[in-house]
Chain A
Amino acid sequence: MEKNNKAIIDVRSVTKKYNDVTALDDLSLQVFQGEIFGFLGHNGAGKTTTVNILTTLLAPTSGTASICGYDIAKDSLEVRKNIGYLPENVRFYENLTAFENLEFFAKLSGIKKPAEKIKEVLGFLDFQGFEHKKLGEFSKGMLQRIGIAQAIVDDPQVLFLDEPTSGLDPMGIKNLRDVIIRLNQEKEMTVFMNTHLLMEVSKTCTAIGVLNHGRLIYRDSLENTLKRFKDEVSLEDIYLNIGST
């Protein structure tokens, strides 16, 4: 999908401190409309903290950010009307069926006819036939599909995914990749994805950012990155190169 020059996620000098620990250090970052943005970094770099701040779950110590033009602090309700979020390791309500789980979240998003919308979303995800099974019986891959379903049920402009491939087998990872690309191309969704899997980043993302101990050390489109580091064999080598400088 062609990149729009409009920054749909605009982070300006965000710092987050927990007592003596600085989780994010003067982070400034822009993600443009239509991008599939891969956010990389070592464990404890601050990726999840960044996503928690952008999804209005956490307040920054200083700095500002906006999503779709809405300030995360002043217009948090508007921000949340325009985003979908799948956190890492969500288990959902195991004693409810898939449909009941989705219906609950759809209603909270303000959807008037949740049944129709759920049917549409499950059709898009090619996941019909399991609606009336309890989530306690689902595999990790199936749970992840439900997780994506609840995140996109209200057609958000921006989708946040925190380690979406965690615990998935290779087929599950491929399915997820296909879904993300289709969401971006067919529904024009901007995707912000925390991930460790560099192979997936190279196949899925259109732009990457690298976080190191709370600081953004790199940000560019994937195309430019591959051109700049043309001597490196793989994205893994590029990442390690960036991280070492």
Chain B
Amino acid sequence: MFSTIKIIATGEFRSLLRQKTFSLLLTVFLFMSVFSAYIGLSTKTTINNVYNETVKQMVAAGVKNIPTNPFLNAKPLAILNNMVVYILVIGALLGIVVGYSAFIRERKAGVFKILFSKPISKYEFILGKMAGTLLTMALVVAVSFVISLVSTSVVSSHILSLSDTVRLLLFYAFSLGYIFVFSMIGLFFAAYSRSESLALLAPVVVWILISFAIPQLNSAVGPTALLNPTSSQAKLPQSQFFTTVRAIVHPFSISEDFKSVGRSLLQGDISSYPVLSLLMYLTATTGGCFYIMKKYDVCAPESDT
């Protein structure tokens, strides 16, 4: 069984690396990893200058009680704040495309009948696909981790401390889990839908639901606020309706939980590590993939679009 899984996983990994669309998304993702550090540095420098200018003008106006610089004690990893948003957005889309491609490739190649006329089971096949997808995403995340490690060290002019390195590693480990959830959603819909376009768009719709609709119901966060790494949660409207709705949607609010974990690890201004929703989504999505594979009819005809 393990040899079959290994064959499928390595085949998957090799195929993905050769795909142009994957290369495009990977380039965008890695570029944003570099860009995130640059934006962080540029913004940090400007903000400190804005504070200094503000203080200058306040002193000139005779203001006595001048607040302290809120950015003075910012952690070195804080310049990577935007990575939280890029994982939420680009990372999720990358995951969807990887998961989708993992299944669609066999459909387009028309090889399912050949595959399952060989002595392999559907269970082995889907496990191999999951392993291959995870391996690919782990490589992407590892490269991004190295980029972030190097860029923060360069920006702060010294090598990151061990504790900060561990925090960064934990952040990327959590990111891998988050992206993998969307890979599984992509894989699920690629198996579920006979139409290629529906198979790709449905996970995007699910992503919108998870990333925007659920946070709005959970904590009244608007769509644009979710994309700001420093936004705090809005105060939830005080009503029985919202309290009930929140109780229902809260366990599903993985994107807000990811933001909290990201902020805790990178910015360090809060200490909140809600991992339950991630575990729940990982279980549900991988379970869903097993289920859909079991039901998949290898002989059914394809749709043309």
Contact = CB atoms under 8 A, between A and B. Distances in A.
Chain B interface size, as a band, is: 20 to 34
B118 A87 contact: no
A80 interface: yes
Contacts, number: 72
Contacts of B121: 77
A7 B111 CA distance: 29
Contacts of A57: 113, 116-117, 298-299
B295 to A, nearest CB: 13
Nearest to A86: B114
Contacts of A96: 14-15, 18
B22 to A, nearest CB: 11
Contacts of B299: 52, 57-58
B165 interface: no
A90 B105 CA distance: 12
A52 B301 CA distance: 13
Contact of A90 (B8, B14, B109, B116): B109
A94 interface: yes
A96 B11 CA distance: 10
A95 B110 contact: no
Given A93-B15, A95-B15, A104-B7, A85 B113 contact: yes
Interface in B1-60: 3-4, 7-8, 11, 14-15, 18-19
A91 interface: yes
A105 interface: yes
Interface string A61-101: 00000000000000001001101111101111111100010
Interface in A30-50: none
Contact of A108 (B7, B15, B109, B113): B7
A87 B108 CA distance: 14
A85 B115 CA distance: 9
B4 A83 contact: no
Given A57-B299, A58-B299, A110-B119, A93 B109 contact: yes
11 contacts: A57-B113, A80-B117, A80-B119, A87-B113, A90-B113, A90-B114, A91-B110, A92-B110, A96-B14, A104-B7, A110-B119
Given A80-B119, A89-B110, 13 more contacts: A52-B113, A52-B299, A55-B117, A56-B116, A57-B298, A84-B117, A85-B113, A94-B109, A105-B115, A107-B7, A108-B4, A108-B118, A108-B120
